[in-house]
Structure formats: structure tokens, C-alpha cells
Amino acid sequence: SYVLTQPPSVSVAPGQTARITCGGNNIGSKSVHWYQQKPGQAPVLVVYDDSDRPSGIPERFSGSNSGNTATLTISRVEAGDEADYYCQVWDSSSDHPMFGGGTKLTVL
């Protein structure tokens, strides 16, 4: 089945830019979705279809996808952005959704 690889952790200072990657074989050919999960809470969709934002999600959250890497970019990081972030695609080979292992974003 399709494997999505995320770094376990990313650290960034407040006000800086965080980039969280999601690697997969030719992931650029797939639609990638990103979720934010804070402790004790359900995941929240923050980016869908590579780079679109649901209503209510700040413009600071953006996404890109090309080649073998998709990236979630969080600009002007705030303390409230500290959370786990998961990427997700539809795996056509196994015909079901797949999630990355998650990345813990720490705001220093």
C-alpha cells in the first residue's frame, strides 16, 4: 500500500514560518489534505486538495504539492498552532484513504 512519510517533529519560533512535509511516491499526482489535531481534540481539516483552505482557516495556512513531496506551510506561527499535523491522500492502489504518521509542531 501507499506510504506517506512525515517528520516526527518540527520546531519553530513564534512569528517564523513552519514547513511540514509529507513524502510519497509521485504524491504530486494525488490530492493531499492536511489536518491539525490539538491534544484531546478531534482533527480539523486545514488544507484540502493540496492548497485550498476550508472556510474559517486562516490564510497563514497554505499547501503545495509537487513531485514526491507535499508541504504544509504555516506563516507567522502562533503559540496556538502547536499541534500534531497529519497529511492524507486517497490510495488508488488499495482504494482507501491513507494518513501520514503525523508531525508534532512545537512553538518554541
CB of 51 to other proteins, least distance (A): 12
Backbone angles phi, psi at 31, to 5 degrees: -90, 130
Q: Figure out which of the listed residues 9, 11, 17, 94 binds other proteins, where binding follows CB under 8 A.
A: 94
The CA angle 39-83-57, to the nearest 5 degrees, is 110
Which residue, 24 or 102, has its beta carbon nearer to other proteins?
102
CB atoms within 10 A of CB 29: 12
Interaction mask 12-51, other proteins, x per CB under 8 A: -------------------x-x-x-----xxxxx--xx--
Comparing CA positions, the residue from 72, 82, 60 lying closest to residue 34 is 72
Binding site for other proteins (CB under 8 A): 31, 33, 35, 41-45, 48-49, 54, 86, 88-90, 94-102
